[in-house]
């Protein structure tokens, strides 16, 4: 026991010496600012949460997920077992396979004494200065913050692992206990929480942000997506078929160029006509005749018209785009659309509304055939999502409930007759109120009132009636 207290005392004084050393060299950083730098990209995305852990909590309550850094810091402020995963994960589940993006790399150095820390700082971290240094109690964390978050695709994860492992090896070569068990997906003590001996974990600003390419280059890694290997001769590549225009389009241009082409586009318009002629497979003699005629109409010298014919490349002309042709012509083509005069936004809105109406009709038709169908059964039967099925199922129920008052008024005489008959046949001679039995429409009533209500609603009414008036339920159960 005495040896344990002695060891804790040494750790305490080591922590104190490290704190004094760091405060004399670097500026302290608040936990909010620190996590805004490394976790801010997660807070901005509504699909991701901060993944934290309370290591000594009860089983099943250790993993914590937060939407806001402040909530995490408030929970961790008085704890000695609070850790956070400084990355974004799919489904907010901290596994390396689900790692989505990260904006920093951590290097964990254990058992760092004040003397070693001073040697580390004097050596400027051996050419690998971090952005922040965190005093975690029994060691320090070197945090390299990137200028932009890195999307951790499969190839990016491999390169991040190589960079992280290379940084660990740099510090191990200089006799620091760099923890090789940590990886790019690891939890680290939360800044602002307590260490194992009750001191506050603090962060200090040491360097600046860096690009991932610069960080990779500092350890001899090239940050670039690897190219797929090309094996020559394995497959024969089919030449792309050049698109061809319709001959009617060429005739359309010959007519419109003389009407619409303005000065400043006369030469390029004839060049565009030549390209379209090659695309349409028009004979060179016919193209030349049309170009010369249009040059005379537009007042363009014949030598410029001949130059437009000569410089046009037949092979490249077959792949020219409509936007390029319009730029050369100086006016736009007359396009026929299928929107009936609607704008693109109006057309898309109409398409969405038609799709919604079609889905609603399908769900309602299925409910008419099977009134007792559940939302899951509707989704399976119609091959739609449960969310879509639930949306139109609830619309169907709301529509039925809106029609209940009118059906109550229509079925009131029939319900009153039932109540009177039940009162005569009852042993106790007490009839139920007519206002309640009116909720059950008469079988075969006008406009098919029984078919308009779902079986679920009828069963509920019958159950309520039998519960409230057991003495009359037998006589009216039919």
Position 461 scores a pLDDT of: 52
- Global pTM value: 0.50
Q: What is the pLDDT of residues 403-417, one digit of tens each?
A: 767 766 766 665 566
Position 437 scores a pLDDT of: 40
* C-alpha closest to that of 220 among 128, 358, 132: 128
Q: What is the pLDDT of residues 215-272, one digit of tens each?
A: 999 999 999 988 876 555 555 555 545 455 567 888 888 888 988 998 888 999 999 9
Looking at the chain, the whole-number percentage of residues with pLDDT higher than 90 is 36
With a cut of 90, say whether residue 124 has pLDDT above it.
yes
Q: What is the pLDDT of residues 285-332, one digit of tens each?
A: 889 999 999 998 898 888 888 888 888 888 888 888 888 888 999 888
Dihedral sign for Cα atoms in the order 289, 293, 298, 300 = positive
Q: How far out from the chain centre does Cα 150 lie?
A: 16
With a cut of 70, say whether residue 449 has pLDDT above it.
no
Residue 409 vs residues 67, 441, 449, 477: alpha-carbon distances, Å: 52, 10, 12, 22
Q: Cite the beta strand spans of 272-345 per DSSP E.
A: none
State the virtual CA torsion across 28, 31, 33, 37 in degrees, nearest 10.
110
Mean pLDDT (the chain) is 80
The beta-carbon contacts of 374-378 under 8 Å, at least 24 apart in sequence, are: none
Q: What is the pLDDT of residues 340-354, one digit of tens each?
A: 667 778 877 888 888
Position 467 scores a pLDDT of: 53
Contact 475, 425 (CB under 8 A): yes
Position 369 scores a pLDDT of: 87
Q: What is the pLDDT of residues 185-197, one digit of tens each?
A: 999 999 999 998 8
Residue 1 vs residues 5, 7, 91: alpha-carbon distances, Å: 6, 10, 45
Q: What is the pLDDT of residues 165-216, one digit of tens each?
A: 999 999 999 999 998 888 899 999 999 999 988 899 999 999 999 999 999 9
């Amino acid at each position: 026991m005495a040896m344990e207290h002695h060891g804790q005392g040494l750790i305490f004084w080591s922590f104190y010496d490290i704190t004094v050393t760091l405060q004399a060299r670097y500026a302290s950083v608040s936990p909010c600012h620190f996590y805004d730098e490394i976790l801010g990209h997660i807070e901005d995305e509504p699909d991701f949460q901060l993944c934290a852990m309370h290591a000594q909590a009860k089983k099943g309550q250790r993993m914590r997920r937060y939407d806001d850094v402040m909530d995490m810091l408030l929970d961790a402020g008085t704890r000695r077992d609070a850790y956070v995963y400084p990355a974004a994960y799919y489904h907010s589940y901290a596994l390396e396979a689900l790692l989505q993006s990260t904006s920093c790399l951590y290097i964990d150095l254990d058992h760092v004494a004040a003397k070693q820390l001073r040697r580390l700082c004097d050596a400027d971290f051996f050419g690998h200065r971090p952005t922040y240094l965190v005093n975690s109690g029994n060691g320090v964390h070197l945090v390299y913050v990137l200028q932009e978050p890195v999307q951790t695709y499969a190839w990016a994860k491999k390169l991040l692992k190589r960079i992280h492992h290379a940084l660990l090896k740099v510090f191990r070569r200089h006799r620091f206990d760099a923890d090789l068990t940590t990886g790019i997906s690891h939890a680290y003590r939360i800044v602002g929480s307590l260490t194992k001996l009750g001191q506050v974990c603090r962060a200090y600003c040491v360097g600046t942000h860096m690009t991932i390419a610069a960080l990779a280059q500092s350890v001899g890694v090239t940050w670039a997506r690897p190219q797929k290997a090309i094996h020559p001769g394995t497959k024969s590549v089919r030449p792309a078929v050049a698109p061809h225009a319709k001959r009617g389009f060429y005739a359309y241009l010959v007519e419109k160029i003389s009407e619409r082409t303005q000065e400043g586009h006369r030469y390029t318009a004839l060049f565009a006509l030549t390209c379209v002629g090659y695309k349409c497979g028009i004979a060179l003699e016919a193209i030349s005749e049309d170009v010369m005629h249009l040059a005379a109409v537009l007042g363009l010298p014949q030598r410029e018209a001949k130059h437009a014919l000569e410089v046009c490349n037949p092979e490249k002309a077959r792949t020219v785009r409509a936007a390029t042709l319009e730029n050369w012509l100086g006016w736009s083509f007359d396009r026929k659309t299928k929107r009936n005069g609607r704008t693109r936004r109006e057309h898309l809105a109409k398409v969405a509304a038609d799709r919604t109406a079609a889905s609603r009709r399908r769900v309602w038709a299925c409910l008419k055939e099977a009134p007792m169908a559940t939302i899951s059964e509707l989704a399976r039967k119609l091959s739609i999502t449960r969310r879509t099925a639930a949306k139109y199922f609830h619309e169907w129920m709301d529509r039925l409930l809106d029609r209940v008052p009118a059906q109550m008024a229509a079925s009131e005489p029939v319900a009153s007759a039932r109540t009177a008959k039940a009162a005569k046949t009852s042993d106790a001679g007490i009839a139920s109120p007519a206002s309640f039995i009116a909720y059950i429409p008469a079988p075969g009533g006008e406009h098919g009132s029984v078919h308009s209500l779902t079986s679920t609603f009828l069963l509920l009414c019958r159950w309520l009636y039998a519960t409230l008036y057991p003495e009359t339920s037998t006589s009216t159960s039919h």
